[in-house]
Structure 1
Amino acid sequence: MPRYDYRCRACGSTFELSRPMAQASDPAQCPDGHDDTVKLLSTVAMTGGSAAPAAPRASGGGCCGGGCCG
């Protein structure tokens, strides 16, 4: 179940709620009982089986690989 971060405008505390995506935009009450809260934009961290990025080519050429950059 996704977790969403919220901030209470009344007391300034931040808190997290686990709820279904269908309820993502429903109002959330802060743990201190205030109703004036806002959902925060959160970042997504991906971990797992992806390989490391490939090393840059040794052929030179700068940003486009063709030597057109001065």
Structure 2
Amino acid sequence: MHKPELVVKNLRYYARYIVVCLLLNKMDLVKDLVKDLSDEIEDYTHRFNTEDQLEWNLVLQEVAAFIEVRPFGSVLG
């Protein structure tokens, strides 16, 4: 991906997918996706010298906080 807009679209996809996996209690997948998202954010901010790195890091922090306080078992059940 050579355009920052396409990379941001990909980052948003990762974030949405992580939320779905959290709701489905797919914690192993969530951990992999968070690692991938973190790597993608780092690559994005270095390649395009963006100013929104803090916002994307906040997304990662919020996911981590949700994982920490999330009770065992499914949210829906």
| TM-score, scaled relative to structure 2 | 0.23
- Which structure shows the higher helix fraction? 2
Q: Which has the higher contact order (CA 8 A, sep 6+)?
A: 2
Instruction: Determine which structure has more spread, i.e. the larger CA radius of gyration.
Output: 1
- Which structure shows the higher strand fraction? 1
